[in-house]
Chains A and B, each alone.
Chain A
Amino acid sequence: MPTIAEILRDIRPEADFTQSQNFLADGMLDSFDIVTLVSDLDKSYGISISGVDIVPENFQNIASMEKLLEKYRQP
C-alpha cells in the first residue's frame, strides 16, 4: 500500500513535499490535484472519503491528510 508521500510524488513528481506545511498556499497542489489525490487515496486504502471532507484544510500537508485518513481507518 503506497504512503501518502508516495501518492503525492506520483501526482506532482516535480514538487518537494518535505519543504512545505501548506501545499495549497505554496502552489504545490491545486484544487484538481486534490480530486486526483482523493481518487488515489480511495483506491489505495479501500475507502471513500466523504464529499464533505474534501475541503482544502484536510489537504494542507501530510499530517492533515493522515488525520483525515485516521477517521476512515477506525472500525
Chain B
Amino acid sequence: MNLLFSRRKISGLLAVLPAHERSFLEDMANFNFPPARSLKLKSVMGYDKRRIVDGPVCASDLACFGMEHLFASGKLSRDDCDALIVITQSPDYPMPPTSSVIQGRLGLKNDMFCLDINQGCAGFLIGLFQAFFLLDQPAVRKVALINVDVISRRTSPRDRNSYPLIGDGASITIVERSEDETPIHANLKMDGTRRDALMIPAGGLRLPSTPETAVLEDDGENNFRSKDQLRMDGTAVFNFVQVEVPPMIRQLLETAQMQIEDVDYFLFHQPNRFMLEKLADQIKIPYEKMPSNVVEHYGNSSGVTIPVAIVHNLREKLLAGSILRTCLAGFGVGLTWASMLLPLGPLDFCDLVEFP
C-alpha cells in the first residue's frame, strides 16, 4: 500500500536506554558452542555491547523516565501532547493499555488520545503513520510517539538465536504539523500468514502460561528457550528481509521519482550488521549512507533502533540546523515491512539519556 503525506515533521527525539550494559563475551558462556565459533559470529554480526534492563523494569518505567526528563529540561510541557501513541510488544499489563498507564503516571490532561499498538521492528514507521493520521484533526497539534520494549525479559539467555542481539529501550518522538509541503512518500505491507516467524507462543489466551510452557526446549541447534519466551526463526526472518525489503525501497524511490543519490541517509531497523550490509549490497547503497552500528553499541531494541540510529549518528547535524533527506525502513513481527522518505531536521532536541 502506497501512502502519501505532507506538512508533517518530527520536531524532537529522545532515546532512553538502560544504563545496565552486557557484553557478548559475558553471554558466550551461556551458549553451548565452542568460543571460537561464537567469536567469529561476533565479528560478522556486530555483536558486542548491548543495553538491557536490570530487574523488573517495565515499558512504562522507561517511557515515564524519558517524558519526565523532557518536562524537567523544558523541552516539552505536561499539557503539550494531544495524543500519546505507545508502540510495544511488552506491555505492563494485558489490560489496561500501557499508554493509559503512562498518561496516569505522568498526570497528563484528559483531553487527549491514548493509543497502544502491538508492533515491533516496523513500529517506528507504523507509529509515524498513526501520528500523521491523528494530526489531520485540528484539535491534535502535537503527538508523542513512544516506542518502547523490554523484550530481554521474555528472551532465554541460552538462546544464541536472539539473546546476544536483544536490547531494551524507549524512544520519544514528537510529531507535529509543518509548513513544508514536500510530499512524504511511504509504503507498507503486511503478511500475517508468516506470523510464526517471530512470536512469543505462550502468555496470551491461545496458550496461557503454565509450568509446562516455562520448560526450556532445544530448537535442534542447541538453542534453549521456553514457549513463554521469544522465538525467532532466524533463517525465515533473514530471507523475508532480503526478499521483501529491496523491492520495497526501489518502489518507494520510483514512486517519489528519486534516486539513491538523492537520499542523504538510509536509516533502517538494526537487526544485525550482516543483514544490513547484505541489504545495502542488494540495493546498492553505500555503507556510509546506511549506519549499521546500533547493535554493536546498544543491541536490537525492536522499534527503538531507528530513533537510536538517528541520535547516535546524526545528532550534531540535526541540532545544527541541517535538513537531511532520509529513507526510513522497518521490518519484522507480523510480518510487517514499511518505509518512508522523510525530510528530517532541524530538531529542537535529539538526545540520549540513561535509565539508572
Chain A residues in the interface with B (C-beta under 8 A)? 11-12, 30-33, 35-36, 39, 48, 50-52, 54-56
Contacts and interface: CB of A to CB of B under 8 A. Distances in A.
A35 B282 contact: no
Interface string B27-45: 0000000000100110011
Interface in B237-257: 238-239, 241-243, 246
A36 to B, nearest CB: 5
B278 A56 contact: no
Contacts of B241: 51
Majority SS at the chain A contact face: helix
Nearest to B45: A35
A48 B41 contact: no
A50 B278 CA distance: 7
A39 B242 CA distance: 16
B337 to A, nearest CB: 14
Contacts of B278: 48, 50-51, 54
Contacts of A30: 221-222
B41 A51 contact: no
Interface of B: 37, 40-41, 44-45, 160-161, 221-222, 234-235, 238-239, 241-243, 246, 274-275, 278-279, 281-282
A66 B164 CA distance: 32
Contacts of A48: 278, 281
A32 B246 CA distance: 23
A60 B239 CA distance: 16
A56 B221 CA distance: 14
B234 A31 contact: yes
Contacts of B40: 11, 36
A54 B275 CA distance: 11
Nearest to B241: A51
10 contacts: A11-B40, A30-B221, A31-B161, A33-B37, A35-B41, A35-B44, A48-B278, A52-B282, A54-B278, A55-B235
A52 to B, nearest CB: 5
Nearest to A56: B235
A33 B41 CA distance: 8
A-B interface, 9 closest residue pairs, ranked by CB to CB distance from nearest: A51-B242, A51-B278, A48-B281, A39-B44, A30-B221, A31-B235, A52-B242, A36-B40, A31-B234
B166 to A, nearest CB: 16
Contacts of A12: 37
Given A36-B44, A50-B281, A51-B278, A31 B221 contact: yes
